[in-house]
Amino acid sequence: MKCPFCSHSETQVVETRISEDGDFIRRRRQCGACDKRFTTYERPDVSFPAIVKKDGRRIDYDPSKLRGSFSLALRKRPVSTEQVGAAIDRIEEKILNLGLREVPSNRVGEMVMRELKKLDKVAYVRFASVYRSFEDIDEFRALVDEVRR
pLDDT in tens, 24-81: 999 999 999 999 999 999 988 778 999 999 999 999 999 999 999 999 999 999 999 9
8 A C-beta contact, residue 95 and residue 48:
yes
Q: The whole model's pTM is what?
A: 0.66
Q: Please name the amino acid found at residue 104.
A: P
Q: How far, in Å, CA of 14 to CA of 143, rounded? A: 61
